[in-house]
Structure formats: C-alpha cells, structure tokens
Structure 1
Amino acid sequence: MDSTANTVVISLREMIVGGQLGSGERLVERDLADRFGVSRIPLREAIQQLEREGLVEIFRNRGAVVRTLTDSDVSEIYDLRTLLEGDAIYRSVKRMDEETLARAELVHRLLESATTKLRQGELNREFHELLYSQCGNERQRKAIRELRAQVERYERLQDTLLDETPSFQVEHEEILHACTQRNAREARSLTIAHLNSARKIVAQLIADN
C-alpha cells in the first residue's frame, strides 16, 4: 500500500473509531476523495484495508458501509483476542525487562485515579500494550490493536466497559502480579479470564439492542 492510501486508512479509521462515521453509514467514494484530496484508486485501497480490519463491509450493489457489530462478530472477535493476547502475554512475560514492568505498574496506578473516560481508555490500552510489548511479534500486536478497535469504536460499548474499571483493576492487579513473578502460565490464564469478563458485558449490550 502506498503512502497516500495509508494516510487515508489512518484518517478513515479515526473517523470510524471516533464515531464520525456511524454503523451502517455509506462511504461515498466521490465525497471522500474530494474530502481527502485524493483519486479514487488510493481511496479504494484504503477501504479494502479497512474491510480486512473488520471496520467496513463492501457490498456489490451498495458499495462500502461501516460495519455493524453482531453477536457473531463479538464471539469471533473475543475468540481471537483470547488466543492472540493470551499467547502474547505468555511469551512477553518471559522476556519482560524491569523498566517495562515499572511502566506497567505506573500506568496501573494512574488508571486507578483517572477521572475521565478518555483518560481511562488511553491508560487501559497502554497497560495492555506494555504487557504484550515483549512478545516478539509485531504483526500479532497489530492484529490485537485492530481487534480491540472493532469493539472500542462503539462509544456505548467502550463507555460501559470503562464503567467497570474498578472491577477490572482487580483483574489488572492479578495479571501484573503474575508478570512480576514471571509466571507466564498464570499471566495467560488471567488475561483470558479478563477478556472473557469484557466479552460477557459486550455480548449482553449487543443482545439488548
């Protein structure tokens, strides 16, 4: 993918995740090409990339639309997240340096005292990314970020998950303790349980709407 298409991917992804483009909304190529000042070729490449990331669906007669999350999507996303994130932390713990652990502990403390949803979201992402940072597989980490974005782009889902920060902090504490003890198996088991806690909340929200 060339740099123009990549720039459009970043902009469109931010618009979807930020809610400027809502679920089911059409991506009108002509309007978007004018907005970004690009031809339709890099724009189409960008839309195809977002389809691969699960943020967009492309229909033969309707064109591209922002994907709507379904029960099946939630199940597939969290099945993959438990596999990828469980493995990432398992391998990361074995290589984790003291500086990374210290940063994760600091972020954990900051998250406990964060007062806004925006700050909570930023710190929560940073906490997990630090714990996966030594897994040795950048493609895996990228896939984890993309899967998380598919859930976090729904503001109501993200807000509900962040409302659970106090209880999730208990789980974070346990995961962090396993990491400091260099217990890779325990860290993996606790990470999977943590993700399954979030899965239940998201699945219930989708079912209720």
Structure 2
Amino acid sequence: MEESFQPLHERMREDIINGVLTEDSWLKTHDLARRYQVSTNPIREALHQLSGEGFVIIRRNRGARVRTLDEAFVRNIFDIRALIEPYLVSLFVEQATEEDLAAMEQVQLRIEERPADQIELDRLDDSFHGIMYDRHFNQEALAIRQRHSEVVRGLARRYPVSPARRLAMIEEHRAIMEAVARHDVKATQEIVEKHARAAERNLIQRMRQAVKGSPPAWAG
C-alpha cells in the first residue's frame, strides 16, 4: 500500500530527473508496478501524464521509454518558447491593470529575496510568468508552454541556476515589468524573447559542464 501522499507521476518524474529511471530506457508497466508497489493501472495513468509533460515517449504497440533530455531537445523547447511567449504576452500588455502590476511586483520581491531552494525559485518564476500568460484565450499555446515548462523545471533541478543567472533573471523581470507598465507591446515581446534565450544558454552551459565533469555553476 502506497504510504506517500506524493502523486505517483511526481515520484516517477523525480526518478527520471535524478537518473533512477535512466534516459532512453524502456518502461515496463509490470516492473514499474513492483518498483512503486501499485497496480498497473496507476502506472499507465502516470506514464500518460509524464508523456504529456514531455518526460516519456509512448510508442503505439511498442511501449513507453524515458525521453533523452539532451542539448538538442533543450534547443527545440526554447525555440518554441521564444516564439510562443512573445505571442502570449502581447494580449496581456494591452490589457494589464494596476492590479496585475502589483501582483507581479509582489512575486518579484519574493524572487529578489533569492531563495536558496531551486524548487521554490522555479515556483515563483512560474507564478511571475503565469500572471502574464494564464488568462490568454489560446489554451493550446498555453498547454505547449506548460508542458515545456515542466521539462525545463526538471532540468533546472538537475542543473541548478547559477548565482549570475539569478541576478540576470531579476534584471530581466524588472525590464519586463517596466515595459508592461508602459503598455509597450513590442518592447515587452523583445525582452521576453531575450529572457527565454538567456535561460536556454545558461541551461545548456550547465549541461555541458556536467558532461565534462566540471564543478557545477552554482559552486562559484
């Protein structure tokens, strides 16, 4: 009987991020059921959830395997984000209210406290961007962004954000807020795109450092 209150798909996601379920390995439902001490039906549901988040690939008549979270995949994700996020933000900039700006300021101040925990930083960052995007009418675009965000957050936990990137992120958020306050759609779109590309470069750099066996970026 499962004692943990953590949902099964979250436990499996953690094991993928931590390398317990290795990249490109096939995921057999009966083996997973024994590992997590559940029946096969919850395993199938969790695999579909993880497939939707981008961590698992399901092939018809072949089964499921762990996606390889390599540099090429990261580039593909950020190429899409660099297109989607400027599109999503345009509607918000046109309609942003003082209440919206105040909500962004409140989240930003918590980010600027520079929480040591990567999970908390990711949650706050997602809240900051959610204020701008989550009311958009295009649910398909939002779903794509959310799916990719899950992967990026997972990778950020494996390769924590460097102190320099944290400071740059704060500055980029402030620039976004200033452009939104002016209702300057073009400027906001440009900053959002640069923000995504900077995150891409930092993540790929940390991935390369890990492959080379260099000290992690957060070490100094």
TM-score range with shorter-chain normalisation?
0.7 to 0.9
- The DSSP-based 3-state class of the residue aligned with 1:69 is coil
One of 9, 16, 24 as aligned partner of 1:12: 9
- Aligned-residue offset at 1:200: 0.9
TM-score under structure 1 normalisation?
0.80
Distance 2:27 2:122 in 1: 27
- The DSSP-based 3-state class of the residue aligned with 1:136 is coil
Distance 1:194 1:156 in 2: 21
- Aligned-residue offset at 1:135: 2.3
Q: Given that residues 96 and 134 in structure 1 are in contact (C-alpha distance below 8 angstroms), is that contact kept between their aligned partners in structure 2?
A: no
Q: What root-mean-square deviation, in Å, do the aligned CA atoms of Structure 1 and Structure 2 show?
A: 2.8
In structure 2, do the counterparts of structure 1 residues 32 and 177 end up closer, same or farther at CA, with 3 Å as the change threshold? same
Amino acid at match of 1:160: V
- The DSSP-based 3-state class of the residue aligned with 1:57 is strand
Q: Given that residues 108 and 172 in structure 1 are in contact (C-alpha distance below 8 angstroms), is that contact kept between their aligned partners in structure 2?
A: yes
Query: 1:4 matched to which residue of 2?
Result: none
- The DSSP-based 3-state class of the residue aligned with 2:95 is coil
- The DSSP-based 3-state class of the residue aligned with 1:164 is helix
Distance 1:206 1:17 in 2: 18
Amino acid at match of 1:169: I
Encode CA deviations 1:141-186: one digit per residue, 9 max, x unaligned: 23212101112212233x1257621111111100011111111111
Query: 1:180 matched to which residue of 2?
Result: 181
Amino acid at match of 2:121: Q
Query: 1:131 matched to which residue of 2?
Result: 132
Encode CA deviations 1:41-82: one digit per residue, 9 max, x unaligned: x64354245334321134689843322212210111001111
Structure 2, unaligned stretches of length 5 or more? Answer: 1-6, 212-220
Query: 1:84 matched to which residue of 2?
Result: 84
Structure 1, unaligned stretches of length 5 or more? Answer: 1-9
Q: Given that residues 161 and 198 in structure 1 are in contact (C-alpha distance below 8 angstroms), is that contact kept between their aligned partners in structure 2?
A: no
Query: 2:158 matched to which residue of 1?
Result: 156
- The DSSP-based 3-state class of the residue aligned with 1:105 is helix
- Pairing 1:116–2:90 present: no
Distance 1:142 1:71 in 2: 22
Q: Given that residues 178 and 187 in structure 1 are in contact (C-alpha distance below 8 angstroms), is that contact kept between their aligned partners in structure 2?
A: yes
Query: 1:94 matched to which residue of 2?
Result: 94
- Aligned-residue offset at 1:30: 1.4
Q: Given that residues 120 and 162 in structure 1 are in contact (C-alpha distance below 8 angstroms), is that contact kept between their aligned partners in structure 2?
A: no
- Work out the percentage of aligned pairs sharing the same amino acid: 26
TM-score under structure 2 normalisation?
0.76
Q: Given that residues 9 and 49 in structure 2 are in contact (C-alpha distance below 8 angstroms), is that contact kept between their aligned partners in structure 1?
A: no
Amino acid at match of 2:100: T
